[in-house]
């Protein structure tokens, strides 16, 4: 199917295969709705280690395939990941909270991915029109007391990222069709738009800030908060100096009401002192004496030694 793609997409495909050291297959569906949405493709990891990019709609294969490849490349280029290490004990609630965290993570990812697509000239007026058509088709207009406020707001936030804050083509239409959600999306967009996002460190900072802003917005529309800063583990990004500091200088380790997802043990969360974001989760040894000795050792270790010993992923700030 590779003959269907532009040279820019083929270059991305070669780069992704080189970095993953895996064969990447692209499967194109026959459906063609005439608009684009980011849900029109997905990655599938096969049993043999190869990766399949399944494109369910072929309205604009260059845009959709490049978008998926760039997501894959972010994983290979040292950008921090979110991890669902904790459980509330309620599966439905878990899925809802993990879903909103994933959407917020993707929003920040799309800042980086969109900039790269722009550089590769994969976003033109046709793509912009197809994206807007997708929003209008799949995001229904607001009605009183409906339950789609979070879905709408996150979809419109992603739209603002796609258009890089330029609302010329849809501002008036969105004001009329989505007044509350559009207002919320604009406020959240400002949180990630005021500083550049072009490295793992700035990416992480933007996502932490977005997590922090999301709960006050939820409160403002009468919804329960997510506490993503504690529930969701976000890989750390540390300078060489920070890696040499003791754990006690960089983190607070707090006992949580939540449990470790794998095994169900009582959880301890490592919150960054600077940003109060969950960077790692520990299950302490059973027994008061063993637990005290364990944490005494942990707090005295260097961040690098501790992370490596506990096999906790982190990135080095360049």
Q: From first to last of its 318 residues, what are the pLDDT tens digits of the chain?
A: 455 899 999 999 999 999 999 999 999 999 999 999 999 999 999 999 999 999 999 999 999 999 999 999 998 999 999 999 999 999 999 999 999 999 999 999 999 999 999 999 999 999 999 999 999 999 999 987 678 999 999 999 999 999 999 999 999 999 999 999 999 999 999 999 989 999 999 999 999 999 999 999 999 999 999 999 999 999 999 999 999 999 999 999 999 989 999 888 889 999 999 999 999 999 877 777 888 899 999 999 999 999 999 999 999 998
Q: Is 160 exposed, middle or buried (0-12, 13-18, 19+ CB in 10 A)?
A: buried
The answer to whether the CB of 271 falls within 8 A of the CB of 252 is yes
Number of H helices, E strands in the chain: 13, 11
Q: What is the pTM of this model?
A: 0.95
Between CA 117 and CA 127 the distance in angstroms is: 11
Residue 208 vs residues 116, 213, 239, 247: alpha-carbon distances, Å? 22, 9, 17, 20
DSSP letter at 39 equals G
Range list of β-strands (E), 184-265 = 233-234, 236-238, 251-260
User: Is the alpha carbon torsion for 186, 73, 277, 197 positive or negative?
Assistant: negative
Q: Quick one: which of 73, 72, 3 has its CA closest to 43?
A: 72
What per-residue confidence (pLDDT) applies to 193? Answer: 96
Q: Quick one: which of 170, 192, 44 has its CA closest to 104?
A: 192
Phi, psi for residue 274 in degrees, rounded to 5: -80, -30
Q: Quick one: which of 1, 15, 9, 17 has its CA closest to 120?
A: 9
Phi, psi for residue 178 in degrees, rounded to 5: -135, 55
What per-residue confidence (pLDDT) applies to 3? Answer: 57
The answer to whether the CB of 172 falls within 8 A of the CB of 144 is no
What per-residue confidence (pLDDT) applies to 287? Answer: 74
The answer to whether the CB of 61 falls within 8 A of the CB of 212 is no
Residue 264 CB neighbour total at 10 angstroms? 11
3-state SS class at 34: coil
Residue 94 vs residues 21, 32, 76, 232, 279: alpha-carbon distances, Å? 33, 34, 27, 11, 19
3-state SS class at 84: coil
What per-residue confidence (pLDDT) applies to 281? Answer: 97
Between CA 104 and CA 151 the distance in angstroms is: 11
């Amino acid at each position: 199917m590779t003959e269907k793609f532009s040279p820019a997409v083929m270059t991305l495909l070669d780069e992704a295969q080189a970095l993953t050291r895996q064969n990447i297959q692209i499967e194109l569906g026959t459906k063609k709705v005439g608009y684009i949405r980011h849900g029109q493709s997905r990655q599938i990891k096969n049993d043999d280690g190869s990766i399949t990019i399944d494109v369910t709609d072929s309205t604009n294969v260059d845009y959709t395939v490049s978008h998926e490849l760039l997501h894959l490349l972010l994983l290979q280029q040292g950008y921090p990941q979110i991890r669902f290490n904790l459980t509330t004990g309620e599966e439905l609630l878990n899925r809802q909270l993990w879903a909103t965290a994933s959407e917020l993570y993707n929003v920040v990812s799309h800042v980086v991915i969109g900039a790269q697509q722009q550089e590769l000239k994969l976003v033109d007026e046709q793509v912009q029109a197809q994206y807007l058509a997708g929003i209008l088709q799949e995001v229904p207009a607001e009605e009183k007391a409906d339950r789609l406020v979070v879905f709408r707001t996150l979809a419109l936030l992603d739209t603002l990222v796609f258009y890089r804050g330029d609302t010329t083509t849809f501002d008036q239409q969105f004001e009329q069709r989505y007044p509350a959600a559009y207002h919320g999306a604009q406020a959240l967009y400002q949180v990630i738009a005021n500083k550049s996002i072009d490295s793992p460190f700035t990416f992480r900072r933007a996502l932490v800030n977005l997590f922090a802003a999301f709960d006050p917005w939820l409160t403002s529309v009468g919804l329960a908060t997510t506490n993503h800063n504690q529930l969701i583990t976000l890989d750390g990004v540390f300078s060489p100096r920070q890696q040499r500091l003791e754990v006690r200088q960089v983190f607070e380790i707090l006992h949580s009401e939540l449990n470790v997802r794998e095994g169900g043990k009582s959880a301890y969360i490592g919150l960054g002192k600077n940003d109060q974001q969950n960077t790692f989760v520990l299950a302490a040894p059973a027994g008061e004496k063993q637990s005290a000795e364990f944490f005494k050792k942990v707090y005295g270790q260097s961040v690098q030694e501790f992370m490596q010993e506990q096999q906790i992923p982190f990135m080095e700030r360049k």
